[in-house]
Amino acid sequence: MITKYTHGKPVPTEAVTAVLPSQSPDSFPFACEWENGKFRFTFPMADGDIVYGLGEAPRGINKRGWVYESYCSDDPFHTETKSSLYAAHNFILLSGSRTFGVFVDFPARVRWDIGYTKADTAVITIDGADFDIYVLTDGAPRDIIRAFRRAIGKSYLPPLWAFGYQQSRWSYPDAATVDSVIEGHNAAGIPLDCVYLDIDYMERYKDFTVNADAFPDFAAYVKEKRAQGIHLIPIIDAGVKKEDGYSVYEEGRANGYFCKKEDGSDFEAGVWPGMCRFPDFLNPEVRRWFGEKYKTLTDCGIDGFWNDMNEPALFYSAEGIEKALDEAASLKGENLDLSRFFHLKDVFMGLSNAQEDYARIYHNIGGTLVNHQRVHNLYGASMTKAAGEYFQRAFGEGKILMFSRASYIGAHRSAGIWFGDNHSWWSHILLNLKMLPAANMCGFLYCGADLGGFNENATRDLVLRFLALGVFTPLMRNHAALGTRDQEGYRFENPADFRDVVQVRYRLVPYLYDTFVKARENDDLIFRPLSLDYPDDKIARECETQLMLGEECMIAPVYEQNVSGRTVYLPEDMTFVKLSGERVTKQPLAKGLHYIDVALNEVPLFIKKGKSIPLCRPAMRTGELDLSSVETLCS
Amino acid sequence: MITKYTHGKPVPTEAVTAVLPSQSPDSFPFACEWENGKFRFTFPMADGDIVYGLGEAPRGINKRGWVYESYCSDDPFHTETKSSLYAAHNFILLSGSRTFGVFVDFPARVRWDIGYTKADTAVITIDGADFDIYVLTDGAPRDIIRAFRRAIGKSYLPPLWAFGYQQSRWSYPDAATVDSVIEGHNAAGIPLDCVYLDIDYMERYKDFTVNADAFPDFAAYVKEKRAQGIHLIPIIDAGVKKEDGYSVYEEGRANGYFCKKEDGSDFEAGVWPGMCRFPDFLNPEVRRWFGEKYKTLTDCGIDGFWNDMNEPALFYSAEGIEKALDEAASLKGENLDLSRFFHLKDVFMGLSNAQEDYARIYHNIGGTLVNHQRVHNLYGASMTKAAGEYFQRAFGEGKILMFSRASYIGAHRSAGIWFGDNHSWWSHILLNLKMLPAANMCGFLYCGADLGGFNENATRDLVLRFLALGVFTPLMRNHAALGTRDQEGYRFENPADFRDVVQVRYRLVPYLYDTFVKARENDDLIFRPLSLDYPDDKIARECETQLMLGEECMIAPVYEQNVSGRTVYLPEDMTFVKLSGERVTKQPLAKGLHYIDVALNEVPLFIKKGKSIPLCRPAMRTGELDLSSVETLCS
């Protein structure tokens, strides 16, 4: 059962598609109070209760013991003590002594103190008076998740080739580099479906332009790559370069499509192209206009995109720079004491993504100027809806690959997400794993992390172990940042190991796509914490290094360096399968703890008793997969 | 066997006390080459070989698969991709297909590529032409470690009370706060031996001064605390405040005791007190002078110190600030493009610990001005020697608690170390564990990490789990940074759990002190990787979440949130002991994998078959421990 409680006049978020009557918060089932205009509600947690949810968020599958804040943030340091990442996914589920779900439909800040201040108490604080809260009760955790997913509508469906292996880097700036990447994979026998174009493919970072020096005939080049079975996936950023004569800028300015300042002039801030203006995606007319812009690229044969920088990231504003430079000037010739030194450093450090800048932004919502801070978490989601709505109109479902960095529940109907700018850290293999069921709960089925890690240098073994998890994630993309070590499989010693791992993905595409489609149809999870399937098994209940996949499998990636395997817990008898290239080994294992050997070129998988999965012959492209080659891998 | 290879005229580091003949590097047993004035040597690593060592360094017990740099660094972000922390501990040990140790006695940068670039190759690059390299062969890994330890001399011996529980915070700035901390522990029944005085006890951060407002009669106060069984441990920083009339500054200036610039004037940089000068600790006369300064505080009854900021940390220099402000001024009124914006930000970000500033420093070594970059890694070690040499002269061995942030091998004879400014991250429990055997190999037996984590906010469960590891580390100190959540045990809900854990420490003090003294006498390890004891057991060999302790025990702390225990691997039959306050439970467990339940107030310990350890009754102070209460805890 879902009950909707409404207070004030919520900004429409379009997160929930189900039409439900509003109850007054007077009948709200949790202890609640108002303080300084904020609404706070509280519930107790018993020992052993698990709190799931919050989608793309830091820390564990069980969110207890930390404080989270829903505020889409461009923050590339995904350490344990962060509270906000790129997304705002306001759904949680308590399971244990009681079972219920809560969705806070509110596009500004929400603070989730899940036993951080007091271990047995959850305190959720909504930074405003206009909100909807949905409370879900009755049934097992999975039933409640399905009920929530039904209420928010069917998840985005990508094309099948989006389940192929994808290679990215900031940047492959020109056709010659893209060709060398494809050739590198081909020569090493590593299957590949997509190559990414990060910001440098554009003409000075202008959305919907292509650098003609780098790609002299882009449409012909895209066509040539498609003939090789390769999809090029360009990036689109939220900010539109302020440049006279640039059509997107000129149209946006002429039509009043950009976000405003309080005085009605256009808000500006510096991002990749330098000074930019920001389409007011919360306005449906602007969404329609911006969405149609993707046609520039789809007309060239492009059929996949990633939307970036849409929290929105703001590197600096003229106002911020001016203030910082004034501060610097005032200190010239002074003998700085410590507090003034640290203050000066903080001033420059704080120029990017400054709260002062966000507070300067206004949106036109139904003719009213609304401050950005009231709707911050809708910005990236609305950009992605702009694209998704256009693709739906122009191409129908399942044709265009589309995923976004920033998101809010509701955008799951338009696109997938990736988990943003992670690091080449071993710990981020597990962070990736832990985000998967949480993202699924919030509707985001097509998702994944930057395999191998985006920031800083990777090692060969890290990339292989990361890929061996990525074999199972709908988005399987290897991506790395400017200035870091080359991270494409063929760049390392013995690329055959990379071929072996990626070939496993292609062998599993029929299974993974089917599992995806079923989860979408049934409003269900692809990935589940073991606790959902084995709620009475204490070890399974607390296990956060393994996941259930579909109805048939369990996965348990290796996540440490310098090991030849890992310890795994089987909550029931299963068959331990090792896949490597075309090789398959099987070993029945009894319920309990086991140490399993897993070489760097092997992918471990566990099949439940009496279950089986399809396995096809590998191919170099998803389009070349021979479905007649499918055999059944039984437990 | 130890063979010493010498090239050029090495700066004396006093790391090795054994007198050994020098061989020419012509007979050096590894492949080597010169490139741009750097000496590089290489050795292959077979599959399964383990490389131990590097003391206080990032990543795993097995150092393979990363690149490390010996360069003492004030860096509080101990993430996986860092290469340098506060220490430079240049000893490694390869174990597996061959067994040998290497100590690079060289006080400038050494780069250790342990299979980062090429998985099967170690490449060690020495940034200079004047060095000693010691190669150790013959015997098992532990034999080689003992031979190395014999060569570098006996480790520092702390007083027994230094094995008591220690509470720290940045800061307890005055007597009233210190009293409240002691009272808080007393009221909660949490044993305590030491309270720390971070920088605010001083008069404007001036070494060897005490803020008279905060401590009106410091000597009387210290005496009063000692009567309560509490030792106050003040911090001493490397930089000496530039302030006319301040005696330490005046004496240092008058005698030419401070580090110089190339023109012979004193080098200055800003640290906590504002502009400072830096004692030239590499000069024995300066060490003697600075060491005697500690008398100011020992005369007040102080018998423990921690030396900080001695990498040395440099927040800024006048030259750096001027350059940054000039850059800022030149951009005033300009329309910043992206590269200039990021450059500007980098300029301010790069003000602290700038290589340009280190390069400005000169030391007087035997009458010759030597650039700091040639001897960087000796600075903190020499500061600590200054203190250690004085304590040895004035008080003899085992009387004064002394540990340092920066260190180099050799300083292990004068002091312990703590592992610097870590974070309240669950992953830092394991980082702490992994550093212990590595630090022991390099001579540092008295060591430990900031329990509960220094930077950012801790949770109750994190502090308890961290402490349950800290129960076994010689330095057991809870420490937290300014602005973070209160982290003293009595500040959290149900402080009885903290009492239960800390009481276990006091019950184990006789055992731990004895184990420490034995390890020191025998030039041995307190903590060993399981692989040293069970070299043929693959699971043990790769295990980096457990350690052997002494001859009797194995430890296996819980290191994840929201779990009621952990999986543990027993390489032989052992007795699983849970200690909590005065309670002891025992359970025999067979060799193999087990899931063990460990509550937040319990400390898990494993005793080998046929072994036993002494256990005494807990007390509120180490001085109150009743050794007649010792009973034997058998396996």
Tell me the mean pLDDT in the region B27-44: 96
Counting residues of chain B whose pLDDT is more than 90, the rounded percentage is 96
Q: Is B590 an 8 Å CB contact of chain A? A: no
Residues of A within 8 A of B119 (CB-CB) are 459-461, 493
Nearest CA in chain B to A116: B459
H or E element in which residue A22 lies: strand A22-23
Comparing C-alpha atoms, which of B72, B63, B142, B132 is closest to residue B101?
B142
Dist CA B324 CA A276 (whole Å): 27
* pLDDT in the model for residue B58: 98
**A349 vs B: CB within 8 A:** yes
pTM above 0.95, yes or no: yes
Confidence grade of residue B339 (pLDDT, cut at 50, 70, 90)? confident
Residue A22 banded pLDDT, cuts 50, 70, 90: very high
Residue numbers of B between 97 and 116 with CB closer than 8 Å to A: 116
- pLDDT, tens digit, 9 for 90 and up, residues B500-532: 999 999 999 999 999 999 999 999 999 999 999
The token duo for B415 is 């002091």
Instruction: Indicate whether B334 pLDDT > 80.
Output: no
Residue B335 pLDDT greater than 80, yes or no: no
Find the mean pLDDT for residues B460-477: 98
The answer to whether the Cβ–Cβ distance between B567 and A569 falls below 8 Å is yes
Whether residue B541 lies within 8 A of chain A, CB to CB, comes out as no
Residue B601, chain A, CB below 8 Å: the answer is no
For residue A495, give both structure tokens.
């690329």
B341/A321 CB distance under 8 A? yes
Count of other CB atoms within 10 angstroms of residue B175: 18
Structure confidence by residue, pLDDT tens digits, A248-300: 999 999 999 999 999 999 999 999 999 999 999 999 999 999 999 999 999 99
A482 reaches B (C-beta below 8 A) = no
Per-residue pLDDT, averaged over B592-616, amounts to 98
pLDDT of A29 strictly over 90: yes
- Say which residues have a Cβ less than 8 Å from residue B375's Cβ, sequence separation at least 6: B11, B107, B108, B282, B363, B365
* Residues 247-306 (B) with a CB less than 8 A from some CB of A: 270-275
Among A501, B213, B223, B13, smallest CA distance to A492 is for A501
Q: How far apart are the C-alpha atoms of B279 and B286, rounded to whole Å? A: 7
Per DSSP, the three-state class of A394 is helix
**Pick from B378, B204, B163, B350: which is nearest to B286 by CA?**
B378
At residue B236, does pLDDT exceed 90?
A: yes
Question: Taking 90 as the threshold, does the pLDDT of residue B122 lie above it?
Answer: yes
Sheet of B110-114: strand order equals B31-35, B38-44, B121-126, B110-114, B66-70
The pLDDT of residue A339: 86
Query: What is the Cα–Cα distance from A226 to B432, expressed in whole angstroms?
Result: 51
Q: Is the pLDDT of residue A93 over 80?
A: yes
Determine the pLDDT at residue B323: 92
Give B299 to chain A, closest Cα distance, Å. 31
Crossing angle for the helix pair B427-441 and B141-152, to the nearest 10 degrees: 70
B345 vs A: CB within 8 A = yes
Distance from CA of B593 to the nearest CA of A (A): 6
Put simply, the answer to whether B62 touches A595 (Cβ < 8 Å) is no
First to last CA, chain B: 37
**pLDDT of res. A434:** 98
Q: How far is A290 from chain B (nearest CA, A)?
A: 25
**Inter-chain touch A594–B595, beta carbons under 8 Å:** no
Among A114, A343, A423, A562, most B C-beta atoms within 10 A, so best to mutate, is A562
Residue of A nearest to B78 (CA): A79
CA angle (A189, A194, A195) in 5-degree steps: 95
On chain B, the residues whose CB falls within 8 A of the CB of A272 are 338
**Secondary structure of B12-50 as H, E, C letters:** CCCCCCCCCCEECHHHCCCEEEEECCEEEEEEECCCCCE
Residues B71-109: pLDDT tens digits?
999 999 999 999 999 999 999 999 999 999 999 999 999
Backbone angles phi, psi at B587, to 5 degrees: -150, 120
* Cα torsion B532, B533, B537, B542: sign: negative
On the CB side of B520, how many CA atoms lie within 13 Å of its CA? 21
Q: CA B158 to CA B374: how far, in whole Å? A: 31
CA B626 vs CA A191, B162, B629: distances in Å: 70, 17, 5
Closest-CA residue of B relative to A272 is B338
b/e per residue A502-520 (b: at least 16 CB within 10 A): bbbbbbbbbbbbebbeebb
A538 in contact with chain B, both atoms CB, cutoff 8 A: yes
CA–CA separation, B414 and B270 (whole Å): 28
Per DSSP, A26 falls in state G
Minimum Cα–Cα distance from B463: chain A residue: A65
pLDDT at A336 (0 to 100): 77
Count of CB atoms situated within 10 Å of the CB of A282: 25
DSSP count for chain A of H helices, then E strands: 15, 37
The minimum CA-CA distance between A518 and chain B, rounded to whole Å, is: 32
Inter-chain contacts counted by CB atoms under 8 A, chains A and B: 162
| A505 CA: distance to closest CA in chain B (Å) | 25
Q: Which chain A residues are within 8 Å of B328, Cβ to Cβ?
A: 324-325, 328-329
pLDDT confidence band for B47 (50 / 70 / 90): very high
- Nearest 5°: phi and psi at B103? -120, 120
B270 vs A64, A341, A564: nearest CB: A341
pLDDT digits (tens, 9 = 90+) for B481-507: 999 999 999 999 999 999 999 999 999
- pLDDT bracket for residue B332 (50, 70, 90): confident
A590 lies within 8 A of chain B by CB: no
pLDDT higher than threshold 80 for residue B635 = yes
Q: Does A466 touch chain B (CB under 8 A)?
A: no
Euclidean distance between CA atoms B498 and B461, whole angstroms: 10
Question: Of B621, B554, B622, which Cα lies nearest the Cα of B594?
Answer: B554
Minimal Cα–Cα distance from A116 to chain B, Å? 6
Instruction: Tell me the percentage of chain A whose pLDDT exceeds 90.
Output: 97
**pLDDT (0 to 100) of residue A622:** 98
pLDDT in tens, B3-35: 999 999 999 999 999 999 999 888 899 999 999
Q: Please, what's the b/e burial string for A181-208 (b: 16 or more CB within 10 A of its CB; e: otherwise)?
A: bbebbeebbbbbbbbbbbbbbbbebbbb
Dist. CA A617–CA A508, nearest whole Å:
9
B140/A contact by beta carbon, under 8 A: no
What's the pLDDT score for residue B183?
98
- Say whether A461 and B118 touch across the interface (CB within 8 A): no
Helices (H), B16-162: 141-152
DSSP-derived letter for residue B423 is B
Give yes or no for A459 touching B (CB within 8 A): yes
Find the Cα–Cα–Cα–Cα dihedral A141, A142, A147, A149, rounded to 10°: 120
Look at residue A237 in the predicted model and tell me its pLDDT.
98
What's the CA gap between A600 and A585, in Å, rounded? Answer: 15
pLDDT of residue A272: 95
Is it true that the peptide bond before A312 is cis, omega within 30 degrees of 0? yes
Chain B residues with CB-CB distance to A81 below 8 A: 423-425, 456-457
Residue A451 is predicted with a pLDDT of 98
Phi, psi of B506 (to 5 degrees): -65, -35
B337 has pLDDT over 90 = no
Predicted local distance difference test score (pLDDT) of residue B340: 87
The reply to whether A45 touches chain B by the CB within 8 Å rule is no
| B544 interaction partners in chain A (CB closer than 8 Å) | 560
User: What pLDDT is stored for residue B331 in this prediction?
Assistant: 86
In angstroms, rounded to a whole number, what is the distance separating the alpha carbons of residues B512 and B520?
12
Instruction: Please check the confidence at residue A178 and state whether its pLDDT lies above 80.
Output: yes
B46 touches A at CB < 8 Å? no
Q: Quick check: B560 pLDDT over 80?
A: yes
Q: Is the pLDDT of residue B242 over 80?
A: yes
- CA angle, B335 then B340 then B345, to 5°: 115
Mean pLDDT to the nearest integer, B557-577: 98
| 3-class secondary structure, B184 | helix
Alpha helices in A476-566 (DSSP H): 496-521, 530-533, 538-542
Give me B631's structure tokens: 């009973």
Q: Which residues are CB-neighbours of A102 under 8 A, at least 6 positions away?
A: A91, A92, A93, A124, A133, A134, A135, A136
Would the CB atoms of A563 and B569 count as touching at under 8 Å? no
Residue B422's closest CA among A54, A133, A80? Answer: A80
What residue has token string 């070299």? B535
> In this complex, is the C-beta atom of B351 within 8 Å of any C-beta atom belonging to chain A?
yes
Please name the residues between 419 and 438 in chain B that touch chain A, using a CB distance below 8 Å.
423-427
- Interface test mutation site (partner A, options B562, B593, B600, max chain A beta carbons within 10 A): B562
Q: What count of Cα atoms within 13 Å lies in the side-chain half-sphere of residue A328?
A: 27
What is the share, in percent, of chain A residues with pLDDT greater than 70? 100
> What span, in angstroms and rounded, lies between the C-alpha atoms of B95 and B441?
14
pLDDT at B326: 92
Structure confidence by residue, pLDDT tens digits, A322-377: 999 999 999 887 777 788 889 999 999 999 999 999 999 999 999 999 999 999 99
Digit-coded pLDDT (tens) for B160-214: 999 999 999 999 999 999 999 999 999 999 999 999 999 999 999 999 999 999 9
CA B111, CA B88: separation in Å to the nearest integer?
11
Q: Note whether B62 contacts A: Cβ–Cβ < 8 A.
A: yes
81-100 of B, contacting A, C-beta below 8 A: 81
Facing A81 at nearest CB: one of B118, B352, B423: B423
In chain A, residues 488-507 whose CB comes closer than 8 Å to chain B:
493
Residue B582: which of B474, B470, B506 has the closest Cα?
B506
Mean pLDDT of chain A: 97
Reported ipTM: 0.97
Q: Residue B121 to residues A422, B42, B185, B543, B591: CA-CA distances in angstroms? A: 28, 7, 52, 22, 35
Report the sign of the C-alpha dihedral through residues B370, B373, B374, B375, in that order.
positive
Closest CA to B135 of B123, B126, B147, B127: B147
pLDDT band at A74 (very low <50, low <70, confident <90, very high): very high
CA–CA separation, B25 vs B6, rounded Å? 6
At A397, is the secondary structure helix, strand, or coil? coil
**Which residue in A79, A81, A463 has the most chain B C-beta atoms within 10 A of its own C-beta, making it the best mutation to test that interface?**
A81
Contact A329 B331 (CB under 8 A): no
